[in-house]
Structure 1
Amino acid sequence: MLRLRSCLVSQLLSPPSTSLVSHHHRLLSATAPPVSPKPGFAAEDYLVDTCGLTRPQAIEASRQLSHLKSSSKPDAVLAFLAGRGFSSADVAATVAKYPKLLCSGVEMTLAPRFVGLTGLGLSGPDIARLISIVGPHFRLRSVVSKVHFYLLFFGSTENFFRSVKRNSYLLSFDLERKVKPNIALLRECVLDSCDVAKMCISEPMMLSTKPERIRAMVRCVEGLGVPRRSGMFRQALKAVTFFAEEKMTAKVDFLKKTFRWSDAEVKVALSKAPILLRRSEDTLLCMSEFLISEVGLEPAYIARRSVLLTYSMDGRLWPRYHVLKFLKANGLLDQNRDYYSTILPSKEVFVKKFICPHKEAAPHLAEDYETACRGELPTRFRFT
């Protein structure tokens, strides 16, 4: 009896055999339900199926959503946007440009921004457009106050969007430390509020650059012979925006050499057409050869009428010259008619003044002029 009890205790205290453990393991595996892995958030598929992105867009955008574990936050964002008038196209465009919008808190971030922006008169599509342009800057606490400032400054919603499209960082600029002081500085240059706004629409970096840079640009413009009170001062200031001094000097030297201008003549030319500083060297070379060698204009003449160089070579200068030459060659126009006077009018006025009166004498002139505007030289415009 004692031997039997000892044997039983020994068996109970000894570790179970491998075969017994394996048996219990197989038994539990056979009877227990299978355990599924915890579901994750398939960002790429979600962006395609729910947000309307293309597969390539979704692959790119999903990298910014890899931390999401579920669709709860994106679902809330999409529901909020739909309730604010976002179309499927608005959602797709916005999310493609700024995927992290789907990570925003509705109550703490999106709702206050939308309330403020709609209060400024922006529609749902306007806000969608804004988000797609400025991206993460939309989540700034100051976004509403900054949009309000720029709407007043630029004068219209469309002007604001033109500017912010050119510089998506516009809403990140510090209004009190940078933007407002620069506007005040530009106004000191005898530019009124409207002129400052117009310049900053196309050159929004003027609002955030260092004041010393603006002062340097003003000195540069004055050095080119454009006084502050000149009607061309704003255009000249825009033309030299962010030009390095050495680059400016090189461009002025190039103009002098290309058009055979003296120091005085290049100043006259730039005071009338400062945008020449922005024209490519290839274009200017082509114009110089055409106006001096073919048309026969003197360098001093071109300098005094430098606006000629702001027009399209193919669409204006070249075809009108050939019309003028044709009319003179056929005795239909006074030989002393000035070339410059044919360049200034709009196309409609040019046709009415120089082509329509000669329909009977030159029935093909209108057709030949249109052909020349396309870059082809009609046979009747060829002279030997």
Structure 2
Amino acid sequence: MSNFFRTILLLRSPSSLFSHGFSQSPFKSLRYLSTSSEIVSSPKSASLPSNAVQLNNNSKAVIGLLANHGFSESQISDLAKRYPQIISMNPEKILSPKLLFFQSKGLSSPEIVKLVCSVPCVLTGSLNKRIIPSFDYIQAVLGSEEKTLTAIKRFPGILGWDLRTSVGPNIEILKQIGVPDSNISSYLQRQPKMFLTSSIRFKKAVERVTEMGFNPQRLQFVVAVFALRSMTKSTWDEKVEGYRKWGLSEEEIRLAFRKNPRCMSASEDKINGAMDFFVNKMGCEPFLVARTPTLVSYSLKKRILPRGYVYQVLVSKCLIKKYAHFALFFNSSANLFIDKFINPHKEQIPELLELYKEKLMDLEDEQEQRKSP
């Protein structure tokens, strides 16, 4: 038996195995199994209880099943450490039906492996009482299996909830206030996790958004609800105060929130980084950022700084007027940005595209260096 198998077995060994000189901590006992096969092949192993032998055979069957479904040795080992009960489950009656269910719904082997490794509890939950009802509930709301799979891939943990009692009341609150089904399903598909909150807290967020003047018929209403739902009142107040420090009035902050609720979901560091760049580096008035609140939502490294560099070059060469097309400059897709703001100036600044790409690479390299130990 390989060291890997013995490691898996040890993680699920019954207490009787510890009577043979093992530490009571399975992780401390790894050294005993990694040195030789004495536990498995020695004469003493003959006296091990029959349930230990059954566990041995069951564990090998579980490992084989997972391997056949595309799990690597390291992934199986990690699952055994995080959810050791998986290794002692019946592979044919409990584990295989769940893996085959995901397969029947169109998930590829790599997608199933990714789903299980991110949320191992999907293998420990009941297929008929939890997984299938959750899948069917999401599909009933979204209207298609494809959209359901998209939602599950974005948050596999949703399969572990009783959605009729957790998500259902919150969907009903939105319907009662006039939010279209299409907006509800759109957000459930993109952000399923955001629906998992108490109906009391959810209703308070809906009421606050309504008081702010959002139109329930528009998607921004739902976005605003979940922006508020994601933070406490004190966190909201801290972010408002953070914007106020940059010279914005409370009315300007509310205006920014109505235009783009995600501007309040950004972290304080992100808010301060964006405001510092636009106000101090580019000389913008704070109200200009409030009028284009999407600016705060973008990545400082991947979008704001590289495009800000191009913007400053074009303004310094008098090729564009200051603040002309300001929102489009930062809001446009990467391809549109190049087509509209770089390619038209090839003759005057032939190296501009290369400089822009270099700026992107430099910032990405800098970010990677900060991540590395």
Same fold (TM over 0.5): yes
Is the partner of 2:10 in helix, strand or coil? helix
Residue 101 of structure 1 aligns to a residue in which SS?
helix
Match of 1:62 in 2: 10
Shift of 1:145: 3.1
What letter corresponds to residue 273 of structure 1 in structure 2?
A: N
Match of 1:272 in 2: 259
Candidates 220, 233, 245, aligned match of 2:208: 220
Alignment check: 8 A CA contact 2:227 2:262 kept: yes
SS at match of 1:355: helix
**2:365 matches 1:373:** no
Secondary structure of the corresponding residue to residue 190 of structure 1: coil
Specify the SS of the correspondent of 1:229: coil
Deviation at 1:267, TM superposition (A): 0.8
Aligned to 2:218: 230
Does the 8 Å contact 2:59/2:88 carry over to 1? Answer: yes
Cα offsets for 1:358-380 (capped at 9, x unmatched) = 3232222222223333457xxxx
Q: Are 2:227 and 2:264, in contact at CA under 8 Å, matched by a contact in 1? A: yes
Number of paired residues? 316
- CA deviation after TM superposition for structure 1 residue 292, in Å: 2.3
CA shift in 2, pair 1:105/1:254, >3 Å? same
Aligned letter for 1:238?
A: F
Alignment of 1:100 onto 2:85:
yes
- Equivalent in the alignment of 1:22: none
* Paired position in structure 2 for 1:306: 293
In structure 1, the residue matched to 2:29 is none
2:183–2:222 Cα contact (<8 Å) kept: yes
* Distance in 2 (alpha carbons) for counterparts of 1:295 and 1:349: 22
Counterpart amino acid of residue 213 in structure 1:
R
C-alpha spacing 1:118/1:343, structure 2 compared with 1 (3 Å): closer
Q: How does 1:48-197 map to 2 (within 5 A)?
A: 48-49=4-5, 58=7, 62-66=10-14, 69-70=52-53, 71-78=56-63, 85-87=68-70, 89=72, 93-94=75-76, 96-97=78-79, 98-106=83-91, 108-110=93-95, 112-113=97-98, 119-122=104-107, 127-139=112-124, 140=126, 141-142=128-129, 143-153=131-141, 155-164=147-156, 168=157, 170-197=158-185
Q: Retained in 2: the 8 A contact 1:269–1:305?
A: yes
| Residues 225 and 267, structure 1, Cα contact 8 Å, conserved in 2 | no
Superposed CA RMSD in Å reads 3.4
| Deviation, structure 1 residue 274 | 1.3
Which of 252, 255, 263 does residue 243 from structure 2 map onto?
255
Change in 2 beyond 3 A, CA 1:236/1:109: same
2:113 and 2:352 mapped to 1: Cα distance?
50
Distance 1:157 1:316, change over 3 A: closer
8 Å contact kept, 1:117–1:127: yes
Q: Following TM superposition, by how much is the alpha carbon of 1:275 offset from its aligned partner in structure 2, in angstroms?
A: 1.2
Q: Quick one: which amino acid aligns to residue 208 of structure 2? A: C
Residue by residue over 1:211-237, the C-alpha shift from the partner in whole angstroms, topping out at 9 and shown as x without a partner, is 111101112333444332333122222
Match of 1:14 in 2: none
1:69, distance to aligned residue in structure 2 (A)? 0.5
Residues 298 and 304 in structure 2, CA contact (< 8 A), matched pair in contact too: yes
3-state SS of the aligned residue for 1:214?
A: helix
Give SS of 1:215's match: helix
- Report the CA distance between 1:252 and its aligned residue: 1.6
**CA displacement at 1:347 relative to structure 2:** 2.5
Note if contact 1:64-1:99 (Cα within 8 Å) is conserved in structure 2: yes
The structure whose Rg is larger is 1
Q: CA deviation at 1:268?
A: 0.5
- In the alignment, the residues of structure 1 paired with residue 227 and residue 309 of structure 2 have an alpha-carbon distance, to the nearest angstrom, of 31
Distance 1:239 1:286, change over 3 A: same
For the residue of structure 2 that corresponds to 1:235, the secondary structure is helix
Of 361-370 and 100-109, deviating more is 100-109
Say if 1:251 and 1:119 are closer, same or farther in 2 by CA, change over 3 A. same
Unaligned runs of 5+ in 1: 1-44, 51-57, 377-384
The letter of the residue matching 1:218 is V
Cα distance change of structure 1 residues 363 and 183 upon mapping to structure 2, 3 Å threshold: same
AA in 2 matched with 1:62: L
Aligned counterparts of 2:77 and 2:162: Cα–Cα separation in 1? 27
When residues 299 and 333 of structure 1 are mapped into structure 2, their CA distance, relative to the original with a 3 A threshold, is closer
Q: Which residue identity does 2:235 align to in structure 1?
A: K
Question: Aligned partners of 2:108, 2:300: CA distance in 1, in Å?
Answer: 42
SS in 1 for 2:229: coil
Amino acid at match of 2:148: S
Q: TM-score, normalized by length of structure 1?
A: 0.69
115-124 or 228-237, which moves further after superposition? 115-124
Query: Structure 1 CA distance, aligned partners of 2:104 and 2:305?
Result: 52
Question: Aligned in 2, Cα 1:361/1:107: closer, same or farther, shift over 3 Å?
Answer: closer
- TM-score norm. by structure 2 comes to 0.70
User: Secondary structure of 1:297's match?
Assistant: coil
Q: Is the 8 A contact 2:256 2:291 kept in 1?
A: yes
Percent identical: 24
Residues 256, 290 of structure 2: 8 Å contact kept? yes
